[in-house]
Structure 1
Amino acid sequence: MKRVLALLLAAVMLLALGACAKTPAEDPDTNPGSTTDPGTTEPEKTELDIVTIPKLKGIAWFDQMIPGGEEWVAKNGGTFYQGGSATPDSALQLQALEDAITQKVDVIHIVPLATEPLEITMKKAMDQGIVVISHEAPSAENVHYDVEAFQNAAYGEHLMQALAKEMGEEGEYAIILGSIQAQTHKEWSDAAVAYQKEHYPNMKLVADYVESNENQDTAKTKTQELMKTYPNLKGIIGCSVIDPAGAALAVEEAGKSGEIKIVGTSVTETSGKFLESGTIQMISLWDTKQTSYAMCEVAKIVKEGGTVKTGDNLGAEGYESVVVDGKVIYGTAWLDFTAENMNDDPYITK
């Protein structure tokens, strides 16, 4: 029995010595500087391969999305490039979407020419683990989020307020949009007309919305037809980037500059000379560089398993405190330019 007790005592002493010999570095619980403490490690960067597919390539409006994405990846890692076609064709845009899926990118940014034809393929992308973020498509179903520069109704009302001011709140007007299937253009137009009916009863929409198909020559031809059919036409709202300029060409050729007022969405590169001549009274826009950056930040949040909430700051101008309604994220990012401040347009090549 004494021998057993002695052996047990020796074992206890050895265990005690081992515990005393253990250094703090070997015990993360007693070492506040331990590198194994998850509370002190920096999160890893989420490097993403991102492709943006605009309505069409080669115009300043959508090319401006490239530096926004490049700025984001410079800070966060990954790659950013533009896909799609220089022709505004829904079939070509659908093919670009399929190509992106085949290339196994992490993120697809898309600005649909028409949302519905892309829904099945956008779902295909999501099913394969690709994050899909849209712009100018708030009704899109098969996206993680849609990012908008502002609420569409507010922007449509804003355009109508500008046109009514120029027209003296009376007279006939028309609306040109890129496509009746372009959801944002349709929503701006509907809101503008509703606002006019409520606030400017002496103004009148003379015809159904006119489609330019995102083509300046078509916008010009359609405006010529409007002026011929409605000789008392006093105002035009253009929704796509090229619509105000196309309308202005027709108005100038008809010798009616200043007589027919033009406002709408555009950039100085496209419409600046008409602002200077007084044929276009005002253009509104948002900086798609900032939108693109915000879309990248949203994709990162989604990829990391998070959600975007009202009040979140997406790190881009106009998106410092967003409003989230379902899948749609709204900023407050429109900008107005006239002949007086047109040189401040962010799309001007410096």
Structure 2
Amino acid sequence: MTIIRKLAACTVALGALVTATAVIAEEKPSIVTVVKVTGENWFTRMEEGVVAYGKDNADVTTSQIGPAKADAAQQARLIEDLVAKKVSAIAVVPMDAAALEGVLKRAAQRGIKVVTHEADSMKNTLVDIEAFDNKVFGARFNEKIAECMGKSGKWTSFVGSLGSLTHVQWADGGAENAKKYPEMELVSEKNESFNDANKAYEKAREILRKYPDIKGFQGGSAVDVIGIGRAVEEAGLQDKTCVFGIGLPKDTGSYLESGAVDGISFWDPKDAGFVMNKVADMVLKGEEIKDGMDLGVPGYEKVTVKKGAGEGVILVGQAWVDVNKSNYSQYPF
């Protein structure tokens, strides 16, 4: 065989190898996590869990995307694009669960596996993952507010949006808990911040003007307490108000130190991102999602599984963490 023929044969073989490698890469299942908004620290932390699952499991690819601002329509368009690309699985944290039912139904019809987080009313999901019982969680917030307020006075609640199901459940859980205390008065409930700390700040300022004697604030989105804390601090009301809500230690540390925020609770978004991708991978592999199983991260060692709103199931952990000024610095996020 001449040198030219040998080179030609090597080229053909190399081309075949590249083609085979490309086919293998294409066949590797892809799990895409779609969050409410990109750039918020909560979801930046969540992406760490998404990436970690992909690194630990080389047989799948994992990635995270989200709209530039917290908007249900923009989130739906991102999912429509993923449906067109026929990714293997989509893991969604919905901005508005009801608004995504149609596009997630189309995803399922095209054979894409769908799992969700913070959306236990969704019908078009195979598994919805909840870090805990949401109404119980909301009641826990309110109990802390009630104790801080001396169980009397005006209080209010915030949500990322009225379409953010878990936020509404936390607000409702808080309102139900407050009924135990007849001297507590809920005013201007479920203020929408649209996951924007500046909007939460403006809304909190408005409430402080309207109700100058208000004592309690319950935050819903992960940035509400930042905006509320800023408004309280500017007004010099740290010693006259009680602010509790979802948040991350690094985001709220300065307000915990000043007393403008009294306490926060959270579940680690990194763990939630990891669990969403693990469950999506299990679904892709046809593995059973069963009551009592251990998903390998704190708060999800013995999960509860119950029937969902549609054909799927709801998986519930017990992953909450409570922090205040005394211990927030123990958490590096």
1:206 aligned residue (171, 187, 198): 187
- TM-score w.r.t. the length of structure 2 is 0.87
2:302 aligned residue (298, 321, 325): 321
Tell me how far apart the structure 2 counterparts of residues 258 and 241 of structure 1 sit (CA, whole Å).
23
Structure 1 residue 322 displacement after superposition: 0.4
Tell me how far apart the structure 2 counterparts of residues 56 and 128 of structure 1 sit (CA, whole Å).
25
Structure 1 residue 300 displacement after superposition: 2.1
Specify the structure having the higher radius of gyration (Cα): 1
The secondary structure found in structure 2 opposite 1:233 is coil
Larger displacement relative to structure 2 (46-55 or 141-150): 46-55
Cα pair 1:47 1:76 within 8 Å, conserved: no
Matching residue of 2:233:
252
Structure 1 residue 289 displacement after superposition: 1.0
Matching residue of 1:189:
171
Partner AA of 2:195 in structure 1 = E
- Which runs of structure 1 show a deviation greater than 4 angstroms over 4 or more consecutive aligned residues? none
Unpaired runs of 5+ residues, structure 2, are: 1-26, 308-312
Counting matched residue pairs gives 301
Structure 1 residue 301 displacement after superposition: 2.0
Tell me how far apart the structure 1 counterparts of residues 156 and 321 of structure 2 sit (CA, whole Å).
22
Cα pair 1:287 1:346 within 8 Å, conserved: no
Tell me how far apart the structure 2 counterparts of residues 269 and 197 of structure 1 sit (CA, whole Å).
33
Cα pair 1:162 1:263 within 8 Å, conserved: yes
Structure 1 residue 251 displacement after superposition: 1.1
Matching residue of 2:326:
340
Matching residue of 2:4:
none
Partner AA of 1:216 in structure 2 = A
Matched, 1:238 2:219: yes
Cα pair 2:50 2:64 within 8 Å, conserved: no
String of CA shifts for 1:162-218, please: whole Å, max 9, x gaps. Answer: 1112112211101111111110011111111101102x2221102232111111111
Structure 1 residue 312 displacement after superposition: 0.8
- TM-score w.r.t. the length of structure 1 is 0.83
Tell me how far apart the structure 2 counterparts of residues 202 and 57 of structure 1 sit (CA, whole Å).
41
Partner AA of 1:330 in structure 2 = V
Tell me how far apart the structure 1 counterparts of residues 233 and 258 of structure 2 sit (CA, whole Å).
9
Identity, % of aligned pairs?
Answer: 36
2:206 aligned residue (216, 225, 228): 225
Matching residue of 1:279:
260
* TM alignment of 1:37-52, pairs within 5 A: 48-52=29-33
Larger displacement relative to structure 2 (108-117 or 66-75): 66-75
The secondary structure found in structure 2 opposite 1:81 is strand
Larger displacement relative to structure 2 (221-230 or 70-79): 70-79
Tell me how far apart the structure 1 counterparts of residues 115 and 46 of structure 2 sit (CA, whole Å).
13
Matching residue of 2:15:
none
Tell me how far apart the structure 2 counterparts of residues 329 and 314 of structure 1 sit (CA, whole Å).
11
Tell me how far apart the structure 2 counterparts of residues 86 and 340 of structure 1 sit (CA, whole Å).
34
Tell me how far apart the structure 2 counterparts of residues 215 and 258 of structure 1 sit (CA, whole Å).
25
String of CA shifts for 1:201-238, please: whole Å, max 9, x gaps. Answer: 22110223211111111111111111111121011001
Structure 1 residue 47 displacement after superposition: 5.4
Tell me how far apart the structure 1 counterparts of residues 80 and 295 of structure 2 sit (CA, whole Å).
28
Cα pair 2:294 2:302 within 8 Å, conserved: yes
Tell me how far apart the structure 2 counterparts of residues 331 and 190 of structure 1 sit (CA, whole Å).
20
Tell me how far apart the structure 2 counterparts of residues 140 and 258 of structure 1 sit (CA, whole Å).
41
